[in-house]
Structure 1
Amino acid sequence: MDTLTERVPLEATYATGHLGVLAAIAAYRRGGPWLDQVRDLIARNSQDVHRAVSAEMPGVRYAPPASSYLGWLDFSETSVRDDPAAFFLEEARIGLSPGHTFGAGGEGFVRLNFGTSPAILAEILERMGAALSARGEA
């Protein structure tokens, strides 16, 4: 049985694929409404992060992004300031990016990717709040 790569012409294996070009054209021509929906979702998710941090995570500050879905949470005024990413991985089973991996001054911070569904984001924020509360932060 031939594999797909054996049936594709040689000249199509080292350049941009035909289907990829067609998909890019379709996205540029008709992707506007989808992109608007994604932007709205990201804006709502950022607002949800802000609300949850303000209500459920005392001492934590949220720095919303200017143009993406990666927000910064500052835990430097909390008891988990030494390694908040490790704390949330262990206590809440939430994987966050440790701030120190992004350079000097990142200690006590985590980067939260909120480019997900509202339901998943709500669960993430609920787990984080519960872990802090169990530690006596609330």
Structure 2
Amino acid sequence: MVDETIKKGDKIQVMYTGYLEDGSVFDSNEGKEALSFEVGAGRIIKGFDDAVIGMKIGESKSITVKPEEAYGERHEEMVIKLPKTQFQGEEIKEGMMVSSNNGMQATVVSVNENDVTLDFNFPLAGKTLKFDIKIVAIN
């Protein structure tokens, strides 16, 4: 139904663009397939999930999601320094992504003669996110 409003348990399709506070786009499905998910199932960030409740097909809105309802706060204990010798044979550069032996992803924060500093926080942790969302379908 066109005037049906979204509630928990609905399967919906949305178009979205996600922005950082500085206005730069970090993710978008514009020109791609709509994002499909079940509302309230915990498959997307809480702030986005909660924001679609009560919306209707064709409705658009802009939302702001605080870190605690997105990817959480940054944790400084997840930034570690390792001896550069652990990366022998690899060309490590600042900004690149590396995987630990257990499969965790980290961003290389800095490299010097002796050490490599890695950040195991999710790249969007600690950030306030903004989204433009449009409801495409309620299934």
TM range (shorter): under 0.3
Greater share of strand? 2
* Structure-1-length-normalised TM-score: 0.24
Question: For the pair shown, which has the larger CA radius of gyration, 1 or 2?
Answer: 1
Q: Name the structure with the higher helix share.
A: 1
TM value normalised by structure 2: 0.24
Higher relative contact order (CA 8 A, sep 6+): 2
